[in-house]
Structure 1
Amino acid sequence: MAWAVLFSGISTSALAQPVSIQDQQQWLLEQVRIGEALYRDDLVRDSLARLWLIAPNNPQALAASVRQALLDKNPDLAKQRLAHLQQLAPDSLALRQAQNLMKLQDPQAQKQLQQARLYAAAGRPEEAAAIFEQLFGNAPPDFATALEYLRIRSNIPGQRPRAIEQLKALDVQYPGNISLRQTLADLLFREKRNAEALAVLHQLSSDPNASGPAAEREYEYLSTLPIDRSTTLAWQEYLQRYPRSPVLNEATQKLKVQQQLLADPAWVAGTRGKQMIDRSQNPVAAEALLRRALKHYPEDPSLYGALGLSLFRQGRYDAAYTAFTAAHSKEQDTSFISRWQDLMDATRYQLLLAQGDKALERKDFNAARDAFQQARKAKPQDADPLIGLADLAVAQNNAPQAEALLLQARRLEPTNTSAVRGLMRLYSAQSPDKAKSFLDGLPPSLQKEFTAERRRLEVNELNRLADAASERKDWPQVVALLSKVRNLTPDEPWLTYRLANAQR
């Protein structure tokens, strides 16, 4: 994967007493990365300030200073540093990363990133990863974005081993990040590489950048793991490794509780359901398991959230919204509350679109208009509500309004195939020549998607000319025209019969 460029092996073993200017630069750059990994803003600021004194033209330092300027809400300084970097290293990875950071200040890029996150939450990691790659290419702008991308890729079938190796490389470059190592350990457990996962846990517990005794740190980490057989094993080894831990009683109690839960069929069903959702497996089967678990654990927000995702993937947006609302109301962990809110918003948007489509099917035009307009207010930069309103205009025989809405949708999303298809239907009804002209004006990539539409237009035109020739009894012309039709649609039996008659 091209993103591995970010994870190439840059050593993070800090030099205790850097002597040369080059050693000092390397050491300070490592301190910047350590500060970013540990969210130590003071370490980043101090290291960048010292770098600026001894190496104001270092590309990596300039890229880091662009990040810091944006964090400090100083876009003018960020632009100055970016311009300096562009002059200094026009073909560098550092420049591409800095440019991608600036790109994220654009509302359209933010919208694409949000869409990627929604795809990831909805169990569509391939589409989410594709948006990340479209936005950033081989130059993820910062550590957090690279980590988020690798988490997404780990959910794509067959990609987990590669993601693990890239996470290991990222950990070398940005040492000490607890979230990264938690992710890495979890993926290793999922790959049944328990020994490696436990080694990561031990690394967490002995991390010199982490605060508190090693036993307490490992206790805190183990407390965040999902309850399963691997976690129980980790707790057992923890008790053996730290017999004098100050939290020994709490750890013993946690092990006992987990063993009891793992013996409970309802809890196991909920765990299996959540795993199926995480792995984008059968949402109907996952729903049954999650509902079984909720009968015994009705206050668990994670079960409601997983249930919401299973329903969302089935297109049952009304029920999904109810489940996400329950997860949001019961959640105590602030890091998850915003996730449930985002999923509630995304589900309500899809629900409004679905309500509009259903109202249109039953010819309840007022209800359809209200639903599509509400969806448009929720996401004014999305094309789908405009396409829904265009369908409504078509149903009310208002072709000019439908065309205007579809053109507006294309301005928002030029490659939206639903908008193009809607315009094709309108233009085909008006004039085949107008439809062909519209097709000819599409980008080549879109024209390929509408090959069948072009063939249909050609077949209709040839049939029209053949009908006219038949009325004139110009049978040679009929045969020539129908032969062309047959080349385009060789499997049409009625056409073969008609051609045979004309030849006779």
Structure 2
Amino acid sequence: MYKFTLNLLTISLGLAVMSMAKATPTAHKLLMAQIRLGEDIHREDLVEQSLYRLELAEPDNPDVVAARFRYLLRKGDIEGAQKQLARLSLLAPDSKIYKASRTAMRLSSPEGRQALQMARLQAISGRHKEAIDSYDKLFNGAPPDIEMALEYWGAMTQIASRRNEAIRQLKILNIDNPDSGAIFGALGQAYSQNGDRANAVANLEKALALDPNSSNNDKWNSLLKVNRYWLAIQQGDAALKANNPDRAERLFQQARNVDNTDSYAVLGLGDVAMARKDYPAAERYYQQTLRMDSGNTNAVRGLANLYRQQSPEKAEAFIASLSASQRRSIDDIERSLQNDRLAQQAEALEKQGKWAQAAALQRQRLALDPGSVWITYRLSQDLWQAGQRSQADTLMRHLAQQKPNDPEQVYAYGLYLSGHDQDRAALAHINSLPRAQWS
């Protein structure tokens, strides 16, 4: 892919430069891009060709001098590289390119190579903060080339608090090197770590298109598959929330086509079936999800809610069949079912005038849902009817103290007071709530 494009560019630009005393800005930019690309794909012949033409036209251009410096350093010509570095110190002493070149020279020494090896070992072993500190001491904020920059910013992407900073720097690097598949790959990996699936997919696709023979291709393809899958899942969830089950179904099916071994695409199809009230299909999808991954708590929840719609008894039987960990994942549903059952039993006892027994059940409900305004109200009413009026009053007072600005509490306590011939107290309590909170 590169060979034809670059050789054609070399010929056309070579003719253009040879006919001019000084390279035009466009020619300079294209030749420098060819140098960077040659460095990136390790084609020293391309670097040398472009350098020759640039040096004819712009021998004192700092970018050209720095490129010659890097070329000589890669060739192991330390003396020649030092001469170019000395020239660069005179031409652009405060420039980033001089600082980067100085760093490269330092890294060419035995001490520099040893320090770089230490930083790389720290990064590989997961000691990313230590690695960044080591790189900072080596680079002083100016990595000498693309490869080193990718090492540095790549290590920084492993630190969540600094990942966005690394992404910004990689994007800047990408502007100067738009044909570098390695940079797009690093950006794709960083976006993936951030959970930004859309940008991860776009950058990984670009990396693979630009550099189809890269040694990183297995990693990029694997990441691309993962991010395509989860992007489709995210988009499917969003479509379902937007009440568009047809689009959601297409997206979940798309995710399933990308990876038919993961359970979340099947779960999504179950959610679509639930939204359509196609309960037999929903049950099949949720059960299939659990066969694929017994730890998928969303499928457990989906089945529990589905069976609850059919009957409380069926839901309770399903919950009883679950493992301990599965059961814990839907303990709120189990508590709610228990609460509903106790509420029905308490109501039946109230109709029979068995107030003390009803109150005992209301206490069990309150234990399942502590602080519930209306369960506290029901318990207090049952206690009052059972002759335990002081205890009933105390419960409602404590509720008012715990939730002084809760409109439901204000209304419930007002109702309680009014129901027991305390109309003035009821009105005063209701008026304690700011008018803005009235509904």
1:324 pairs with 2:204: yes
Question: 1:237 pairs with 110, 114, 117, which one?
Answer: 110
- The number of equivalent residue pairs is 264
1:398 pairs with 2:274: no
Q: CA RMSD in A?
A: 3.5
Aligned residue in 1 for 2:325: 445
Q: Distance in 1 between matches of 2:158 and 2:102?
A: 18
Aligned residue in 2 for 1:361: 241
Q: Deviations over 1:165-192 (max 9, x none)?
A: xxxxxxxxxxxxxxxxxxxxxxxxxxxx
2:266–2:286 Cα contact (<8 Å) kept: yes
1:462 pairs with 2:335: no
Q: Deviations over 1:438-474 (max 9, x none)?
A: 1111122322333333222212221232233334443
Q: Distance in 2 between matches of 1:321 and 1:286?
A: 18
| Paired residue secondary structure (1:370) | helix
Aligned residue in 1 for 2:260: 380
Change (3 A) 1:297 1:397: same
Q: What amino acid sits opposite 1:237 in the alignment?
A: P
Aligned residue in 1 for 2:412: none
| Paired residue secondary structure (1:442) | coil
1:291 pairs with 2:171: yes
1:71-220, aligned counterparts within 5 Å? none
Question: How far 1:274 moved relative to its partner?
Answer: 1.9
> Relative contact order, CA 8 A, sep 6+: which one is greater?
1
| Paired residue secondary structure (1:423) | helix
Q: Distance in 2 between matches of 1:423 and 1:272?
A: 48
Gaps of 5+ in 2: 1-74, 77-99, 115-137, 385-439
Q: What amino acid sits opposite 2:371 in the alignment?
A: D
Using the size of structure 1 for normalisation, the TM-score is 0.47
Question: How far 1:324 moved relative to its partner?
Answer: 0.7
1:270–1:292 Cα contact (<8 Å) kept: no
1:270–1:293 Cα contact (<8 Å) kept: no
2:262–2:292 Cα contact (<8 Å) kept: yes
1:423 pairs with 2:296: no
Q: Distance in 1 between matches of 2:345 and 2:163?
A: 51
Question: How far 1:284 moved relative to its partner?
Answer: 3.3
Q: What amino acid sits opposite 2:346 in the alignment?
A: A
| Paired residue secondary structure (1:262) | coil
Change (3 A) 1:332 1:381: closer
Q: Deviations over 1:341-361 (max 9, x none)?
A: 111111111111122212212
Q: Deviations over 1:185-211 (max 9, x none)?
A: xxxxxxxxxxxxxxxxxxxxxxxxxxx
Q: What amino acid sits opposite 2:275 in the alignment?
A: A
Aligned residue in 2 for 1:334: 214
Aligned residue in 1 for 2:125: none
Q: What amino acid sits opposite 1:402 in the alignment?
A: A
Q: Distance in 2 between matches of 1:279 and 1:239?
A: 25
Question: How far 1:407 moved relative to its partner?
Answer: 0.8
Q: What amino acid sits opposite 1:495 in the alignment?
A: I
In our comparison, the structure showing a higher alpha carbon Rg is 2
Q: Distance in 1 between matches of 2:300 and 2:261?
A: 17
2:107–2:113 Cα contact (<8 Å) kept: no
| Paired residue secondary structure (2:216) | helix
Question: How far 1:374 moved relative to its partner?
Answer: 1.8
Question: 2:361 pairs with 481, 484, 490, which one?
Answer: 481
Question: How far 1:424 moved relative to its partner?
Answer: 1.1
Identity over aligned residues, as a percent?
A: 28
Q: Deviations over 1:82-136 (max 9, x none)?
A: xxxxxxxxxxxxxxxxxxxxxxxxxxxxxxxxxxxxxxxxxxxxxxxxxxxxxxx
| Paired residue secondary structure (2:261) | coil
2:101–2:144 Cα contact (<8 Å) kept: no
Aligned residue in 1 for 2:185: 305
Q: Distance in 2 between matches of 1:415 and 1:228?
A: 54
1:390–1:403 Cα contact (<8 Å) kept: yes
**Which is worse superposed, 350-359 or 486-495?**
486-495
Change (3 A) 1:240 1:401: closer
Change (3 A) 1:238 1:446: same
Question: How far 1:430 moved relative to its partner?
Answer: 1.7
Q: What amino acid sits opposite 2:277 in the alignment?
A: N
Q: Distance in 2 between matches of 1:459 and 1:229?
A: 73
Change (3 A) 1:228 1:469: farther
Q: What amino acid sits opposite 2:270 in the alignment?
A: A
